[in-house]
Structure 1
Amino acid sequence: MVTFDHREPGTDPQRWTTLLDALTPQDVALDGFASVVVVAPHPDDETLGAGGLVATAAARAVPVEVLLVSRGERSHPDSPTVAPGDLAARRDEEFRTASAALHPGAVGTSLRVPDGALRDHPDVLRAALDERLSSATGQVLLVVPWRGDGHRDHRVAGEVAEAVAAGHDHVTVLAYPVWAWHWDDPDAPAAPWDRARALALSADALDRKRTALAAYRSQTLPLSPAPGDEAIVDERHAAHHLRRTEWYFPVDAAPSARRRSRSRSRSRESFDAHYARKPEGWDFDGSWYERRKRAVTLAALPRERYRSALELGCATGVLTAAIAGRADRVLGTDISEAPLVQARERAPGARFVRAALPEDWPEGRFDLVVLSEIGYYLSPADLDRTIDRVLGALDDDGVLVACHWRHPDDEAVTDGDTVDARLTERWPRPALVRHVEEDFVLSVFPGPSTPSVARADGLVR
């Protein structure tokens, strides 16, 4: 999970120029495509991320449809002068003006999903995309937000679009970054620039893009001098997008199949690089998703207190600190040393060691083992060996708690559902708890003599 503040200066555009000049990317070509479909989570995403491509399509008489997911009414949540409904109407008009500037024949379709709530309404985008791709004739270029962009609506839009595209052989997918330009680090980028594609813009295409962006006055200019009405896309941010080249990432329409083909667990070097870029890891403290998931995990523990707890892949120790309040002894392990420095400060009563699963297994017996957001980074063989290790170290009255993200992760070997299914298949007893929602799956697997909560509490015999 990435957090950023658009009001911060962000990454210097010149630092990106240095990185981009060193790349030798493949070109983006419109040859052979009968139409282009662009997914824009908010008004202006289509211009910032793909405006030059839309303008290029206009010059080549390639039809374009932009699916506008939301009206962007929450772009200024603290505005003292403009209500969300009024802002939505303003951005609707700006979208129409910008679309006409990029491609006079472009079709703009507004899906009117509430701004910030695509995660709650993915079927709206899914149905709209499936309808268009199913009825399209010829090859379609589908242009979507990069799901690593750091904004939740961008992530969900990218995930939904990629999943729909996987069912259509005539669709090619390219992903565009918007906010990654602002928060990512060119010296150790999270974005896959080694696979990037480039579209060189003609003078006319770049001019159209500038004109389209200028149409978004509610985003490029302050709504008023009052705090909360600041520009969202200031000149520094716009500079990322007004280059002579637009940049895209190719998307494998079947990422799950690609991940399943990997035979090696995610490397220590990969995790070390991640923490070098983002010392806090995945925003465990600030994200409501993370805080809520942590509360669900703790609520699922069938006992109030444990003798000895082991957390595998403890990261910066946020969950470990909470577990320490429920256990006499706690041991946390992680493959990377950097997060353990923070973990030791956060949970001084716990013990932490650097360990790679399943080779570096700690000694001891445990009545609580936690495997949270780490199983899908293990190869199938290493996952099986880890399960064996847990079974061998778990007390008869203990439990394994496993919680995993269900959305795609470019660094993952498998996925949360695969991990949960394998644990269910390999575990000798049925799960005491199985909680499944769109974002994560959580299961509690018991030892041979672990009673139900009511039975342990004497409520049933």
Structure 2
Amino acid sequence: MVNEAGGASDGRAVFDHRDAGTSEALWASALHDAALPALDVEDVTHLVVLAAHPDDETLGAAGLVAHLSRRGVKVTVVVATDGDASHPGSPTHTPADLVRVRRAELLRALGTVAPGAAVHLLALPDGGLRENAHRLRDALGAVLDSARDSARDGAVGGVGGVGGVLLAAPWSGDRHRDHRAAGEVAREVAASRGVGLVEYPVWMWHWAAPDDAAVPWDRLAHLDLGGPERAAKAAALGEHASQTAPLSSAPGDEAMLGPEMLRHFDRPVEVFVVAQTQTQTRAQAPDRATLPQSFFDDFYTGRSDPWGFETRWYEERKRAVTLASLPRPRFGSGLEVGCSTGVLTAELAERCDTLVAVDIAAAPLEAARARVGDRATFLQLATPHEWPPGSFDLVVLSEVGYYYGPADLAALIDRVVASLTPDGVVVACHWRHPVAEYPASGDTVHAALESRTDLARLARHVEEDFLLDVLVRPPAVSVATRAGLA
């Protein structure tokens, strides 16, 4: 299981389940020192658990399920896929075999933590929740509507929402493609119905370290597990033998969950990411700060191509779309903000007489210099407070705007406009799906650009995954009109 979140430029690194991962001893110490607030579930009357694959619900939330089930709370479990792609190279188990095995494991596991729980098996493609988000959205919405309608009237409190219904779902920042898609759908569906939401990390304990900027410490809460709850969770996890032990001794049948990974789920607590309350609007929420240089220094450590610029077709295609959007064949002076390792920079250099490329971190700049050489000038700057001198007839903001807090994003756009020549062009391209640790979304960045009266949109390209805008000083005149063709 080599996993990634979203499969593209969403700022997520690939992780490999075969790696040793972060030790549980390190996490245990950090969790103790953090003194996380307790998760308040006293007023929950119906718990709905969403799992991307059979065993996610056990790993991340079996203690919560057992705790509430012992209190008489109704439990419904929605399992999006059958997990039939867990062993793609198995010589002994076909995907159909794995469906039968993993469904049986799931039902036995749930029987240990919540006898009588309702189970919905959606059988969506394993590894394909992003492409089937609409089907997951409809199915989960129907379950929540039923739970909300049948829950005790007027029970609102703790993290429970309308009718005391609480949804527990995979954390969308878990760096697993299906977990990310499931978490995003859960957020959307819960918000639209006023249902409380908590998210459970699974793979974060493996790929992250306690000091990783991606860990949402400010939104974590813990649930203490008593002896019976820990025992029930351990028994449930033991039922998932297809994941915790080898299917056979043959290559391709190795266990998916290693010993250190399993230790993360033998804690006396479960940890959840608590969603922003339904009554708190984004405008009321405190501004999130611009990501610091340390975030990027840590991210690039030991990684030559962390975004997959050189290997992913998604990235190659998006670069082609970006370059095709340029309204002129050549520019006099270009500026690329957030050049990273210089893959796009190399192609922009072919279209500019001079090109300045800036980044906040030293490691990617070193790689960019090696790639592009003297075809561009590279500067390490903490934009927007630091800015290169001169004016530019092309400014490229590719996958960078969502790293800024609201004030710095506004300042960035001010800087861009101030340094833009009268005939200048701004090209902005950003990932659209939410990333937990980023201060803004791609759509927020483009909305901020569009709100400027001193910029006019010349072109727009919209996909589910990314948004691309070409902006100029008003009025915007089309390429064909400028060429006298229209």
TM-score, reference length from structure 2: 0.85
Specify whether residues 206 and 351 from structure 1 end up closer, same or farther in structure 2 by C-alpha distance, changes over 3 A only.
Answer: same
Specify whether residues 260 and 335 from structure 1 end up closer, same or farther in structure 2 by C-alpha distance, changes over 3 A only.
Answer: farther
Q: Percent identity?
A: 47
Instruction: State the partner residue of 1:298.
Output: 323
Instruction: State the partner residue of 2:334.
Output: 309
Which whole-Å deviations, capped at 9, do the CAs of 1:21-78 have from their partners, x for residues lacking one?
Answer: 2221222343211011111001100001111111222221211111101111111222
Q: Any conservation in 1 of the 2:38–2:222 contact (CA below 8 Å)? A: yes
Say whether residues 1:143 and 2:143 are aligned partners.
no
Specify whether residues 219 and 412 from structure 1 end up closer, same or farther in structure 2 by C-alpha distance, changes over 3 A only.
Answer: closer
Alignment of structure 1 residues 78-93 onto 2, 5 Å = 78-93=89-104
Alignment of structure 1 residues 14-413 onto 2, 5 Å = 14-135=25-146, 136=148, 137=151, 138-169=163-194, 171-188=195-212, 190-253=214-277, 257-258=281-282, 261-263=285-287, 266-267=290-291, 270-279=292-301, 280=303, 282-349=307-374, 350-413=376-439
Of 336-345 and 444-453, more deviation after overlay is shown by 444-453
Q: Any conservation in 1 of the 2:456–2:474 contact (CA below 8 Å)? A: no
- Tell me the amino acid that sits aligned with residue 410 of structure 1: A
Of 215-224 and 256-265, more deviation after overlay is shown by 256-265
- Tell me the amino acid that sits aligned with residue 199 of structure 1: L
Q: Distance in 2 between matches of 1:282 and 1:178?
A: 22
Q: Distance in 2 between matches of 1:419 and 1:131?
A: 33
- Tell me the amino acid that sits aligned with residue 125 of structure 1: L
Specify whether residues 147 and 271 from structure 1 end up closer, same or farther in structure 2 by C-alpha distance, changes over 3 A only.
Answer: farther
- Kindly state the Cα deviation for residue 185 of structure 1 after the two structures are TM-superposed: 1.4
Q: Any conservation in 2 of the 1:39–1:46 contact (CA below 8 Å)? A: yes
Alignment of structure 1 residues 376-455 onto 2, 5 Å = 376-426=402-452, 428=454, 430-446=456-472, 452-453=478-479
RMSD: 2.7
Instruction: State the partner residue of 2:154.
Output: none
Q: Distance in 2 between matches of 1:207 and 1:282?
A: 40
Of 172-181 and 347-356, more deviation after overlay is shown by 347-356
Instruction: State the partner residue of 2:6.
Output: none
Q: Distance in 2 between matches of 1:174 and 1:262?
A: 20
- Kindly state the Cα deviation for residue 109 of structure 1 after the two structures are TM-superposed: 0.4
Q: Any conservation in 2 of the 1:396–1:449 contact (CA below 8 Å)? A: no
- Tell me the amino acid that sits aligned with residue 190 of structure 1: A
Specify whether residues 264 and 353 from structure 1 end up closer, same or farther in structure 2 by C-alpha distance, changes over 3 A only.
Answer: farther
User: Residue 9 of structure 1 is aligned with which of 20, 23, 26?
Assistant: 20
- Kindly state the Cα deviation for residue 264 of structure 1 after the two structures are TM-superposed: 6.8
- Tell me the amino acid that sits aligned with residue 241 of structure 2: R
Q: Secondary structure at the match of 1:158?
A: helix
Q: Distance in 2 between matches of 1:302 and 1:190?
A: 37
Q: Distance in 2 between matches of 1:79 and 1:256?
A: 48
Which whole-Å deviations, capped at 9, do the CAs of 1:142-169 have from their partners, x for residues lacking one?
Answer: 1111111110111111111112222333
- Tell me the amino acid that sits aligned with residue 341 of structure 2: T
- Tell me the amino acid that sits aligned with residue 241 of structure 1: F
Q: Distance in 1 between matches of 2:92 and 2:320?
A: 37
Which whole-Å deviations, capped at 9, do the CAs of 1:121-153 have from their partners, x for residues lacking one?
Answer: 212222223223333123012111111111011
Q: Any conservation in 2 of the 1:340–1:352 contact (CA below 8 Å)? A: yes
Of 312-321 and 255-264, more deviation after overlay is shown by 255-264
Of 327-336 and 146-155, more deviation after overlay is shown by 327-336
Q: Secondary structure at the match of 2:236?
A: helix
Q: Distance in 1 between matches of 2:249 and 2:388?
A: 59
Of 288-297 and 46-55, more deviation after overlay is shown by 288-297
Unaligned runs of 5+ in 1: none
Could you say which structure has the greater relative contact order, defined with CA pairs below 8 angstroms and 6 or more residues apart?
Answer: 2
Which whole-Å deviations, capped at 9, do the CAs of 1:329-376 have from their partners, x for residues lacking one?
Answer: 221112344432333333323222122333322122323210122223
Q: Distance in 2 between matches of 1:455 and 1:58?
A: 67
Q: Any conservation in 2 of the 1:259–1:414 contact (CA below 8 Å)? A: no
Specify whether residues 22 and 43 from structure 1 end up closer, same or farther in structure 2 by C-alpha distance, changes over 3 A only.
Answer: same
TM-score, reference length from structure 1: 0.90
Which whole-Å deviations, capped at 9, do the CAs of 1:232-283 have from their partners, x for residues lacking one?
Answer: 012221111122221112111569943775557505xx23234324434544
- Kindly state the Cα deviation for residue 453 of structure 1 after the two structures are TM-superposed: 4.8
Q: Distance in 2 between matches of 1:259 and 1:295?
A: 36
Specify whether residues 388 and 32 from structure 1 end up closer, same or farther in structure 2 by C-alpha distance, changes over 3 A only.
Answer: closer
- Tell me the amino acid that sits aligned with residue 68 of structure 1: V
Q: Distance in 1 between matches of 2:299 and 2:405?
A: 24
Give the length in aligned residue pairs. 457
Specify whether residues 255 and 239 from structure 1 end up closer, same or farther in structure 2 by C-alpha distance, changes over 3 A only.
Answer: farther
- Kindly state the Cα deviation for residue 299 of structure 1 after the two structures are TM-superposed: 2.9
